[in-house]
Structure 1
Amino acid sequence: MGLLSRWLTKRAGSEERDDPQATAIVERIVGLCPSLRLARNYASRLLPAVQRTTAYLVRLVDEVPPAREANAAAWAADPYIHAFFATPDDVCPAFNRSHELNVFFNDHPAADEAFAVLGMAIDERHIFGVGQHGEATHTDVAQTTINFSDHQVRVCGESEAALRREIVLRIVDQLVLEGIARIEADTSRQDELQREKALLKTRLTILERQGAGVRSLLGSDASSNFADVARLQAQIEENDRALAQLGLKTEALERHLDVICGVLAAPDAHFYVLKSTFRLDRMNVVVAEGDTRPAQEIEFRLARLPASPEAIRVFSTVRFRRGDFAPARSTLEHAHRLI
């Protein structure tokens, strides 16, 4: 069991007061959505879902390999850093652009290095390239290349253990935000149904009044009027059923808490990590089994982002030294230095 597991794992049968980490996360959640504090027994209802989520996330984070050193020298020595960046000169600029890393070093003046999550977009391309077959060189060889782009450094920590704890907390935050998005969607749907119901009832009233007047007496358009009334009544009943499924507005807080608990109780439905293994040469071309070309087998971890069902990002934990950090100066700062 890793350090993170020992930090977050709940002892069997313990009460809320014996699980301060989970209790702290509950308070973090209601900090994101303060109205949840008004729901009945919010803490005791959230706690089991929080414990389920943290246990799941701890297992995922414990499986992440140790942080890799990221710098220009590592590009030549570490096949992962080599795969992530096209050239050694591309390594440090990706970190220098990070606002979060800049803030971290400013807030921790004694820190010689930072532990961080490096996230990237991955692109698998099928191309025709140059290949060697025996002594002959061909320029139309089908190849698969793996490319990385959009390097981002957003989460930092003083140590690897601190970074892993922060990763868990950030994912919990994102799961809560997904729950809030569902709440907003339900609220919008309820408002839409209420407006629709008002329009349907107004239309029905008009038709019924028409049916009680001269047209009904003379038989003009009576059958079509009755058909319209029946259709509108059916629509109103369908509207009522949809509203009933969403519940009363007076029950909104309880439903909102249930939505958040539902997301946290099933974290694997909203966030998961995939593993993908490739044998890559120095140009990030996939080398098939049995091919004698020099290649390194590399296992990437890909995270599905909760807020973006279609988005998959490769990530790696890294160590970045303060001595390699050279943040770009802002235009305003540069102007002040010239004055």
Structure 2
Amino acid sequence: MMWSTIQSWFAPKPKISGDDEALIERLVDIAHPHIRLARNYQSRLVSYIGWAHAHATALATQLPDPIALTVENWRENRTLQLLFATPDRMSEIVGGDTELQTWFATWPLSDIAYVGLIADANEKTRYGMCEIDGQIRQDVPQKLLIFANHRIGIPAESPDALVQLGALRILDTVANQAQLAIAAIENKKKQIDDELINARTMLRMHGNTPSAAQTAQKERIKTLTTELQSIHEMLNPEAMCELLITELAATPDIVQLHIHSCNVDRMGVVDGEDSDNQIIELPELILQRETPIEKLILLVSVPRTLMQPPAKNTQFPDQAIF
């Protein structure tokens, strides 16, 4: 073990490009800055980050091509019709986004911005009207597809740039999982610190006379001290670096993309008998946690003409004018 460690000191370190270094620092900032105190952290992370970045890029490339947010497309595209009840609603949600407005103001010669549109997609059961055996019934259970909580991502100047940006956001998500794990360990450390203070206070209250309560507190302090030592080892920069490596290696399991088809009518009824039904594809990113998080994600192109004028803050004047 010692010999392999000594050899690693003199082994040539892999060359790291400027782009790789920037990506490493980006993810380390998210996970925990103390990772920089780990020995050769960049050399240890570079191959894992490169592999995870390749997987994230491949995943982002699987997303369907961007959908143009135009009135004409809204009339034809069932997904847009369900996302936005009217073209005016589409302009209100997307065209009113301040980050998009800032992007168009920054790039006055660009007429189109490409963004990721994220929403929650849920199927709810309702009782609707349907003709069965020549009779109209109003108690027929129906599945209704509902989109809610629309959010606009960071704009990009082209579809390729949007895919690259999407890959970065996937890696950010993976690094955030490492950050959450480290934060949980830090919270556990704080909890044990508080319990140790309590145990030592209780021990002092029992005085110097030997007793069962005093013995119990000493055992409690011993157990907590052992646990605290383990926690300190887990918060060592070397251990945190390995934790980030573990999360990067698990990228395909942490973030997944599922694209499933849905037969739906204009009102959002799934698998109904309406002749207006259309089959749409719903790409969903799934973040694997104890309770998985699923989000609909669509790539869209936003024309400058869809944008609304920036809202002006209404404020009282410094002095009243009569």
Tell me if 1:321 matches 2:303: yes
Letter matched to residue 197 of structure 1? L
Distance 1:315 1:334, change over 3 A: farther
Contact residue 129 and residue 138 of structure 2 kept, 8 A: yes
Cα distance in structure 2, aligned partners of 1:20 and 1:308: 36
| Residues 64-143 of structure 1 aligned to structure 2 (within 5 Å) | 64-133=63-132, 135-143=134-142
| Residues 1-339 of structure 1 aligned to structure 2 (within 5 Å) | 16-17=14-15, 21-32=19-30, 33-133=32-132, 135-204=134-203, 206-207=205-206, 209-211=208-210, 225-226=211-212, 228-248=213-233, 252-287=236-271, 291=273, 293-305=275-287, 309=291, 311-332=293-314
- Offset at residue 163 of structure 1 (A): 0.6
- Offset at residue 77 of structure 1 (A): 1.1
Letter matched to residue 119 of structure 2? M
Choose between structure 1 and 2 for higher RCO, CA contacts under 8 A separated by at least 6 residues.
2
The answer for unaligned runs of 5 or more in structure 2 is: 1-12
Alignment RMSD, CA only? 2.9
- Offset at residue 234 of structure 1 (A): 3.2
- Tell me the number of residue pairs that the alignment of Structure 1 and Structure 2 aligns: 306
Cα distance in structure 1, aligned partners of 2:305 and 2:167: 28
- Offset at residue 248 of structure 1 (A): 4.4
Q: Percent identity?
A: 23
Larger mean CA deviation between 116-125 and 230-239 belongs to: 230-239
Cα distance in structure 2, aligned partners of 1:269 and 1:334: 53
Match of 1:6 in 2: none
Contact residue 114 and residue 157 of structure 1 kept, 8 A: yes
Distance 1:230 1:269, change over 3 A: farther
- Offset at residue 31 of structure 1 (A): 4.5
Contact residue 178 and residue 306 of structure 1 kept, 8 A: no
Letter matched to residue 101 of structure 1? L
Contact residue 35 and residue 237 of structure 2 kept, 8 A: yes
- SS of 2:44's equivalent in the other structure is helix
- SS of 2:269's equivalent in the other structure is coil
- Render the CA deviation track for 1:22-59: whole Å, top value 9, x for unaligned: 33311322444443323211101221321232122122
Contact residue 28 and residue 175 of structure 2 kept, 8 A: no
- SS of 1:326's equivalent in the other structure is coil
Cα distance in structure 1, aligned partners of 2:107 and 2:289: 31
Cα distance in structure 2, aligned partners of 1:262 and 1:243: 23
Letter matched to residue 298 of structure 2? S
Cα distance in structure 2, aligned partners of 1:238 and 1:276: 51
Contact residue 265 and residue 274 of structure 2 kept, 8 A: no
The answer for unaligned runs of 5 or more in structure 1 is: 1-14, 212-224
- SS of 1:25's equivalent in the other structure is helix
- Offset at residue 201 of structure 1 (A): 3.5
Letter matched to residue 144 of structure 1? K
| TM-score, reference length from structure 2 | 0.83
- Offset at residue 205 of structure 1 (A): 5.0
Cα distance in structure 2, aligned partners of 1:188 and 1:313: 29
Distance 1:274 1:180, change over 3 A: same
| TM-score, reference length from structure 1 | 0.80
Cα distance in structure 1, aligned partners of 2:55 and 2:195: 42
Cα distance in structure 2, aligned partners of 1:116 and 1:191: 41
